[in-house]
A and B are shown apart, each in its own frame.
Chain A
Amino acid sequence: MDFSSIVSALPDLLQGMLLTLKLLVFAVAGGIALGTLLALARLSSNRLLSFLAGFYVNYFRSIPLLLVITWFYFIVPFMLAWATGKMHPVGAFASSLVAFMMFEAAYYCEIVRAGIQSIPKGQVNAAYALGLNYHQAMRLVVLPQAFRKMAPLLLQQSIILFQDTALVYAVGLMDFLNTARSRGDITGQLHEFLLFAGVIYFVLSFIASRIVLRLQSKLAVGQN
């Protein structure tokens, strides 16, 4: 084992890690936003809306993420061309980001739904009695409490998402893992580079999940 060439590859690896983190941050933000809308739709009294949201969630939960990433890589350019009538070059980054957002939204939706359902019905009734409409009741009363409760689960899911971003290897994006692999190929030290990547992923996920655990016990105490 010879780890010397990793040092000279560090700037490249850092670039790769930045891409991984960029993908992660956007996917988490978009996924939670879309997931929250889906959760509200699933809990809506409108039958059609809740059926459609339920179908969306079950659909994305039953197919592999890798299939979604690959498929979107092919179809997002087509979709845009149909929508706008012109060909736009869409990079692997944009298509992967859309794939992650839409896929993870299905998982975030279930977390948010459970969070909303854990809020006592009295809270909603009280909000309505105070004259708030549905929109205000959700935004000002229910969702802030729900998000507080489900923060650890949302973070846990985001750690899984962090690990799953490595799958963009399939569409050739130079994320952290793919950078490590390609530098490993060039220098003939694939073993060292892959192990290094594995250790970095491990350390980051492990620390993050420790933080989540701590947060969980803190919040648990906070609840009466």
Chain B
Amino acid sequence: MNYHWDWGIFFKSTGIGQEIYLHWFITGLGWTVALSLSGWLIAMLLGTVLGVLRTLPQRSLSAIGTAYVNLFRNVPLLVQLFVWYFIVPDYLPEPIQTWFKQGLKPEISGFISVVACLGLFTAARVCEQVRTGIQALPRGQINAALALGLNPWKTYRHVLLPQAFRIIIPPLTSEFLNIFKNSSVASLIGLMDLLAQTKQTAEFTANLFEAFTLATLIYFTLNMSLMLMMRWLEKRVKVPGLISLGGK
């Protein structure tokens, strides 16, 4: 069994124009980051709305949040991706459907499916964190806000959410890191993200150890740097006077 080690492989030409294999990894990383950040945007917006719904006294509103979380947390990510990729486009209203299927480049429509999938999947997790954060606040906060004459909207906007977000930075960080890892499912519907580019390099060059080692290093570095960034943010915004929160 002979394996031909060659760590210089990343600087060799792919045979397509001037490209070297390293370029594939860089564009792959670009897709991974774009997918994750777009998904995260949706997850934060929707997750916050749902998290707030779950803390409202109206039963019917909080039931919506609960149902959403139960549904999206109990179906595997890949099944959700297939639903967004194979099923949902067929039920779009007419002019949009043709545009989505034929007007858009396949990688763009695939991108939209993956972003919707990641965003809605992660929103369920963000929702739970936001709910926990709000419920962790002392009851006096909401009472004081209402006593000051703030309406419920303003109470959440100016009093509850700003504090809740600062408390939940650590669990949100791990969800944020998860979305980067989860975005690798994009490779299963043919998007050329970091994992797909790695597989392609491994297949083209037969240097699979080198290709997968580099991919691992990239994911590892990405993860570590995001984590350090979030730790820094957590320290910057910690709520003064709360010892258990915001790092030592």
Contacts and interface: CB of A to CB of B under 8 A. Distances in A.
Contacts of B74: 163, 201-202, 205-206, 209
Chain A interface, >50% SS class:
helix
Max chain B C-beta neighbours (<10 A), residue from A65, A70, A209: A70
Interface in A129-182: 163-164, 166-167, 169-170, 177, 181
B76 interface: yes
Interface string B161-187: 000000000000000010011101101
Contacts of B182: 64
B237 interface: no
Nearest to A205: B74
Instruction: Name the interface size band of chain A.
Output: 35 or more
Going nearest first, the 4 A-B pairs with the smallest beta carbon separation are A62-B223, A163-B76, A205-B74, A64-B181
A70 B212 CA distance: 9
A181 B82 CA distance: 9
Contact of B79 (A62, A81, A166): A166
Interface string A68-89: 0011001100100110010100
A85 B82 CA distance: 41
B75 interface: yes
Interface string B69-80: 011011111111
Interface in B194-231: 195, 198-199, 202, 208-209, 212, 215-216, 219-220, 223-224
A3 interface: no
Interface in B31-80: 70-71, 73-80
Interface stretch (B12-20, B83-91, B111-119): B83-91
B76 A164 contact: yes
Instruction: Name the interface size band of chain B.
Output: 35 or more
A9 interface: no
A177 B79 contact: yes
Given A63-B220, A66-B195, A191 B90 contact: yes
A65 B183 CA distance: 11
B177 A190 contact: no
Contacts of A63: 181, 216, 219-220, 223
Max chain A C-beta neighbours (<10 A), residue from B1, B79, B80, B202: B79
A198 B83 contact: yes
Contacts of A62: 177, 181, 219-220, 223-224
Contact of A82 (B1, B87, B180): B1
Contacts of B220: 59, 62-63
A70 B219 CA distance: 15
B39 to A, nearest CB: 14
B153 interface: no
B1 A194 contact: no
A124 B185 CA distance: 45
A168 to B, nearest CB: 10
A195 interface: yes
Nearest to A209: B74
A52 interface: no
A198 B1 contact: no
A194 B71 CA distance: 15
Contacts of B26: none
B184 A74 contact: no
Contacts of A6: none
A64 B184 contact: yes
Max chain A C-beta neighbours (<10 A), residue from B90, B180, B185: B185
B188 interface: yes
Nearest to A70: B199
A82 B3 CA distance: 10
Given A82-B1, A190-B86, A198-B83, A67 B78 contact: no
Nearest to A168: B78
Interface string A192-205: 00110110011001
B208 A197 contact: no
A201 B79 contact: yes
Contacts of B73: 205, 209
Nearest to A165: B76
